[in-house]
Chain A
Amino acid sequence: MKRTTRARAWRWGLNAAVVAVIALIALAANWENIHENFWNSGGVALDGGNWGDLITIGAVNTVQYTAIAFAGGLAFALVLALMRLSPIATMRWLATGYVEFFRGLPALIVIIFMGLGVPIAFNWQPPGGLVGAGLIALIMVGSAYMAETLRAGIQAVPKGQMEAARSLGMKPTATMFKVILPQAFRIVIPPLTNEFVLLIKDTALLSVIGASFDERELTTVARDFLASGPSAGTATALVQAALIYLVITIPLTQLVAWQERRQRKATR
């Protein structure tokens, strides 16, 4: 067989195998059970039941919380990254200690401590109630990850860029903010997108510390529908929430990838 013929045969074989596996799974599934337990509107049309609260409360809050946690986390991460690159040893140690500490803890534990532990330990309630405390926890954890990403991005900008700016007489701060960081951010867009998506999903952890009816994020709303509403007793609301998460995350990553391709075409 010629090499191209063989390659084509391989490709067709692979495609056929994939179709076969999907067909097998579809045949093995108990569709009746699935329909009853995972996609059961309880006699009410689905759009009249869960979708309303899932979208207008859950999805809206999830997007808002993610935006707040990401913006706050990124701003704090920038401070940490600059500290890690500081010529002052104390700054570097502080930042390294912070990053190692919060990167090594499960976000869930930090959320519980911020929401329930800190008010007891310090007689102080973080602003924004339990949700506010949870968001601060997400910012603290997220910034530890993003600081490392930013530091890598800053270090990936060629040394000559700093030298060129300094040789023109630009001050270190101006060099950092006008020459180095704009290039560093471009380098870290893919890993930052990744961290944004992780953060969207991490907002689901806020469901452990409780929130008022209108403050609930997507997973909390879905969980509440497990016990109440037309689909109570089935996992339908979780499946609906899962679909909403995908509707948020997939277009987002595609948008960033498209933007990145466009950017690359312009500047390199």
Chain B
Amino acid sequence: MTAMPARQAPEAGSVPAIDVRGLHKSFGENEVLTGIDFHVDPGQVVCVIGPSGSGKSTLLRCVNRLEEPTSGEILIEGIDICDPEVDLDEVRSRIGMVFQQFNLFPHLSVMKNLTLAQRSVHGRGKAEAVEIARRNLAKVGLDHKEDAFPAHLSGGQQQRVAIARALSMEPDMMLFDEPTSALDPELVGDVLGVMKDLASEGMTMMVVTHEMGFAREVGDKLVFMDGGVVVEEGVPEEVLSDPQHERTQAFLSKVL
């Protein structure tokens, strides 16, 4: 793993990559998010932790509107994506997303998984799409697997292909929804390694995770959520070693 270069502090007055304001989300009677304010600056890696049911995945899924917010604002690079005038598909193409269950397209080869959206959304020609796909497969260390089908790959390989698929859209930021939670323990490291490399290249990342080591080492900011609110946030090292809030302490004492 290459040493991480010092990350540039976001310029004063620059627009946040992700800016969530007063976000509420209910599923029927069940209020999952109860007023979230949350932002990610360009180039920042923000890790979101919290017990299951705390709403952290819902928050992440609201950021590209896979979940429809009940109320509140979500601004991506300054654009309110809840505005009906906004071309949501265009915004989504700038936000890469990686799922817990990988969600590769099982009927397509690895190469086709990486070129389908490039061609359909960006209208890229085949040669260009393939070249970009190859570059990203090499980045995740799977350039020898372009003809394989997802079913023939290990979970860790599938997740790295999923990351390469998202990267092939050349997004401005990446969302990770518990990317290692469905993996066998020995495969977690490869995926985290790819994510670490990505962070060191300056990618803006929002990562919902249970990997405290990754949050501590790679994250610029750690957000602890519980009961649909942000309970505590700060520099990962400080939050993890000296949590201020009682609920954070209780959670960390269980997982660390």
User: CB within 8 Å of B: which residues of A?
Assistant: 158, 160-161, 163-171, 174, 178-179, 182-183, 186, 266-268
Contact = CB atoms under 8 A, between A and B. Distances in A.
Contacts of B99: 160, 163-164
Interface in B153-194: 162, 165-166, 169
Contact of B107 (A164, A169, A182): A182
B165 to A, nearest CB: 7
A169 B103 contact: no
A171 B123 CA distance: 13
B119 to A, nearest CB: 10
B89 A167 contact: no
Contact of B89 (A163, A164, A169, A179): A169
A178 B149 contact: no
B116 interface: yes
Given A168-B121, A170-B120, A171-B89, 15 more contacts: A160-B101, A161-B103, A163-B103, A164-B99, A164-B104, A167-B92, A167-B95, A168-B97, A168-B116, A168-B169, A169-B90, A170-B121, A171-B121, A183-B105, A268-B106
A167 B64 contact: yes
The size class of the interface chain B forms with chain A is 20 to 34
Contacts of B106: 183, 267-268
A268 B149 CA distance: 8
B151 interface: yes
B93 interface: yes
Contacts of B66: 163, 166-167
Contacts of B162: 164
A168 B93 contact: yes
Contacts of B166: 168
B117 interface: yes
12 contacts: A164-B104, A164-B105, A165-B105, A166-B89, A166-B92, A168-B97, A168-B116, A178-B116, A178-B120, A266-B149, A267-B107, A267-B149
B117 A170 contact: yes
B78 to A, nearest CB: 19
B18 to A, nearest CB: 15
A186 B89 CA distance: 27
A163 B97 CA distance: 10
Nearest to A163: B66
B93 A169 contact: yes
Interface in B64-95: 64, 66, 89-95
Interface in B113-137: 116-117, 120-121
Nearest to B64: A167
Given A168-B169, A169-B169, A161 B105 contact: yes
